[in-house]
């Protein structure tokens, strides 16, 4: 039977056999509904069209207004792997001529996760799930024990990252040129995008993804897992840059982790980096995926009409120039220019600022999903909603998402050139992250009470002499660009 592939199901592991016919549908309505980053739209269309070209006669490639129209045009029964969003899942289930198969592209099955999590509601912790996944799939195991004797291995080298070779940039081709022309035309027709166009930065084909994975294994894996760090002149550091490839289905998670393990077993990469990579891929990534379905956290802001977002315009439209806070300006510029910023920037700067200002988590999920090339609802709900609400969601194990300017100062080189002072809580030079942090703690102190991670911070809060001044100052700052 013909297999319908969404744009996040493009690798060979989404097909059965070398001859299976394929249906690929480009839905323009997806881009009409919400303003995506221009480079994200480019990557999705480029990947779909490259896959169609690779498959040749096996692929029926339809460019339509909606998926419904595409299915009507094809007219016959198709099968599809379980989609990655509730909206898409509900749609495919509603179609008489679509058979929905179990999900692919993740390591642990729905059934295995449910069996593990049932009876653990409220205590289905990431650390436990990660151990379960390591044991079940025999990853970094020496007999019954974790390799090296510990489940989590810390990077002990505290020195700053050394410069690493840049990740290989894909070479654009005629398909990319055609995509660029089409997007220019769509923009002229009134379809809105955010961010800047630019050379495609992320793999659109499996070959490009494997190339990047190989480069990661050689150059970045040995340095992977350093403590959160942000450097103004290096947007990539030792981050893998593989998330788009996993999330578009170009790479398969478990084989990638096994290859990283081989690097460790061969003595080419330290256990700390390899374990951290495994934790991210078979631990955190799978955990978020399963929580999205298991906890049934509901639709995010995508269902909300345009224009009711709690996120201010300057942030939503990536207006980095309007922001004086150096770290925040740099993070917005990174997203504006490539639709991607590494995790410390997402969490300590972008997500942190949103949490401090009380922007609706569902709006942030929507924004991350549209602005980031690797943003998917299932990943963002856990990352943004879950971590922002870590105090209430006992089932999520996450670091506190709100941090002060002191943390950003400790982990980056941004503060040295900033017009604000990370140590100042009040006054003209007060860092918006520091003032915002204490103000946030003040407003949420009752909710955070009893959360062991916040005990120390709440004790400090009680000792701050100028708290009412801080709260007044941050209220006045409001949502204006800092
Ligand atoms: Fe960011 Fe505050 Fe540091 Fe400026 S001083 S870079 S706003 S943390």
Q: Which residue has the higher pLDDT, 381 or 28?
A: 28
In a domain, 383, yes or no: yes
| Six-digit token string for 151 | 């489940």
Q: Of the candidates 60, 81, 101, which is a domain's last residue?
A: 101
| Six-digit token string for 197 | 């166009």
Index of the ligand 1 atom closest to the CA of residue 422:
5
149 and 85 housed in the same domain:
no
294 and 332 housed in the same domain:
no
456 and 322 housed in the same domain:
yes
**pLDDT digit string, tens, across residues 249-300:** 999 999 999 999 999 999 999 999 999 999 999 998 998 898 888 876 554 4
**Is 396 a residue whose pLDDT tops 70?**
no
- pTM score: 0.91
140 and 43 housed in the same domain:
no
| Six-digit token string for 431 | 């860092």
Collapsed DSSP state (helix, strand, coil) of residue 36: strand
Index of the ligand 1 atom closest to the CA of residue 417:
6
At 122 the pLDDT is 60
Nearest to 286 by CA among 90, 153, 145, 112: 112
In a domain, 179, yes or no: no
**Is 131 a residue whose pLDDT tops 90?**
yes
User: pLDDT tier at 392 (50, 70, 90 boundaries)?
Assistant: very low
The C-alpha torsion from 53 through 59 and 65 to 69, rounded to 10°, is 180
As a whole-number percent, the residues of the chain with pLDDT over 90 amount to 65
Domain that holds residue 291: 110-170+190-298
Residues in CB range of 179: below 8 A, 6 or more apart: 42, 45, 46, 49
Index of the ligand 1 atom closest to the CA of residue 326:
6
328 and 266 housed in the same domain:
no
At 457 the pLDDT is 87
At 398 the pLDDT is 43
What's 385's domain CATH number?
Answer: 1.10.579.10
Q: Of the candidates 50, 78, 101, which is a domain's last residue?
A: 101
What's 226's domain CATH number?
Answer: 1.25.40.80
317 and 398 housed in the same domain:
yes
In a domain, 82, yes or no: yes
In a domain, 214, yes or no: yes
Q: How far is the CA of 243 from the centre of ligand 1 (A)?
A: 28
Nearest CA to ligand 1 atom 6: 415
In a domain, 452, yes or no: yes
Index of the ligand 1 atom closest to the CA of residue 414:
6
| Six-digit token string for 434 | 């520091």
At 308 the pLDDT is 62
Counted domains in the chain: 3
- How far is residue 200's CA from residue 202's CA, in Å, rounded to a whole number? 6
243 and 349 housed in the same domain:
no
User: pLDDT tier at 393 (50, 70, 90 boundaries)?
Assistant: very low
In a domain, 184, yes or no: no
Nearest to 436 by CA among 383, 392, 480: 480
27 and 135 housed in the same domain:
no
At 303 the pLDDT is 46
At 121 the pLDDT is 64
Q: Which residue has the higher pLDDT, 448 or 214?
A: 214
In a domain, 155, yes or no: yes
140 and 241 housed in the same domain:
yes
In a domain, 61, yes or no: yes
- How far is residue 209's CA from residue 203's CA, in Å, rounded to a whole number? 5
Tell me what the mean pLDDT of segment 388-412 comes to: 64
Q: Of the candidates 47, 73, 101, which is a domain's last residue?
A: 101
Q: How far is the CA of 476 from the centre of ligand 1 (A)?
A: 18
At 394 the pLDDT is 41
Tell me what the mean pLDDT of segment 197-204 comes to: 95
**pLDDT digit string, tens, across residues 44-92:** 999 999 999 999 999 999 999 999 999 999 999 999 999 999 889 999 9
| Sheet with strand 22-27: strands edge to edge | 59-64, 22-27, 3-5, 78-81, 98-101
**pLDDT digit string, tens, across residues 108-124:** 998 998 888 887 766 77
Nearest to 345 by CA among 334, 331, 325: 331
Question: Which among 323, 349, 407, 418 is the best mutation to test ligand 1's pocket, defined by most ligand atoms within 8 Å of the CB?
Answer: 418
91 and 214 housed in the same domain:
no
- How far is residue 430's CA from residue 422's CA, in Å, rounded to a whole number? 7
**Is 222 a residue whose pLDDT tops 50?**
yes
Tell me what the mean pLDDT of segment 20-32 comes to: 96
What's 21's domain CATH number?
Answer: 3.40.50.620
At 159 the pLDDT is 57
350 and 393 housed in the same domain:
yes
Under a CB-based contact definition with an 8 Å cutoff, are residues 297 and 385 in contact? yes
Tell me what the mean pLDDT of segment 187-211 comes to: 96
As a whole-number percent, the residues of the chain with pLDDT over 70 amount to 90
CA atoms within 13 A on the CB side of 205: 17
Q: How far is the CA of 420 from the centre of ligand 1 (A)?
A: 6
At 278 the pLDDT is 96
Q: Which residue has the higher pLDDT, 360 or 99?
A: 99
418 and 317 housed in the same domain:
yes
């Amino acid at each position: 039977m013909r297999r319908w592939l969404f744009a996040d199901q493009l690798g060979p592991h989404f097909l059965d056999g070398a001859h299976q016919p394929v249906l690929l549908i480009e839905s323009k309505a997806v881009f009409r509904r919400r303003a995506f980053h221009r480079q994200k739209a480019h990557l999705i269309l480029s990947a779909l069209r490259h896959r169609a070209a690779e498959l040749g006669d096996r692929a029926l490639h339809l460019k339509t207004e909606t998926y419904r129209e595409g299915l009507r045009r094809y007219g016959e029964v198709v099968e599809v792997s379980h989609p990655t969003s509730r909206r898409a899942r509900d749609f495919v289930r509603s179609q008489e001529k679509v058979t929905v198969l179990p999900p692919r592209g993740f390591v642990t099955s729905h059934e295995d996760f449910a069996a593990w999590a049932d009876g653990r509601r409220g205590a289905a912790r990431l650390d436990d799930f990660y151990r379960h996944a390591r044991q079940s799939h025999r990853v970094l195991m020496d007999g019954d024990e974790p390799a090296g004797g510990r489940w989590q291995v810390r990077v002990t080298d505290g020195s700053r990252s050394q410069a690493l070779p840049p990740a290989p940039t894909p070479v654009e081709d005629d398909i990319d040129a055609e995509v660029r022309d089409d997007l220019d035309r769509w923009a002229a027709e009134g379809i809105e995008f955010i961010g800047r166009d630019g050379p495609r930065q992320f793999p659109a084909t499996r070959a490009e993804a494997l190339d990047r994975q190989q480069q990661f294994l050689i150059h970045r894996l040995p340095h992977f897992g350093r403590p959160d760090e942000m450097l103004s002149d290096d947007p990539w550091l030792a981050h893998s840059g593989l998330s788009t490839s996993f999330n578009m289905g170009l790479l398969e998670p478990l084989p990638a982790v096994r290859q990283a393990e081989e690097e460790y077993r061969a003595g080419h990469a330290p256990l700390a980096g390899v374990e951290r990579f495994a934790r991210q891929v078979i631990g955190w990534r799978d955990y978020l995926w399963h929580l999205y379905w298991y906890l049934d956290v509901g639709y995010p802001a995508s269902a909300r009409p345009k224009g009711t977002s709690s996120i201010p315009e300057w942030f939503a439209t990536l207006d980095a120039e309007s922001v004086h806070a150096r770290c925040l300006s740099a993070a917005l510029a990174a997203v504006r220019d490539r639709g991607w910023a590494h995790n410390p920037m997402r969490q300590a700067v972008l997500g942190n600022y949103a949490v401090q200002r009380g922007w609706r988590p569902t709006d942030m999920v929507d924004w991350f999903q549209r602005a980031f090339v690797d943003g998917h609802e299932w990943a963002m709900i856990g990352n943004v909603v879950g971590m922002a609400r870590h105090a209430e969601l006992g089932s999520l194990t996450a670091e506190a998402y709100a941090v002060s300017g002191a943390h950003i100062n400790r982990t980056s080189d941004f503060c040295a050139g900033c017009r604000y002072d990370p140590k100042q809580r009040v006054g003209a030079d007060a860092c918006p992250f520091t003032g915002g942090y204490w103000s946030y703690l003040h407003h949420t102190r009752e909710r955070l009470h009893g959360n062991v991670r916040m005990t120390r911070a709440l004790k400090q809060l009680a000792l701050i002499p100028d708290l009412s001044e801080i709260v007044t100052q941050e209220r006045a700052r409001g949502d204006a660009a800092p």
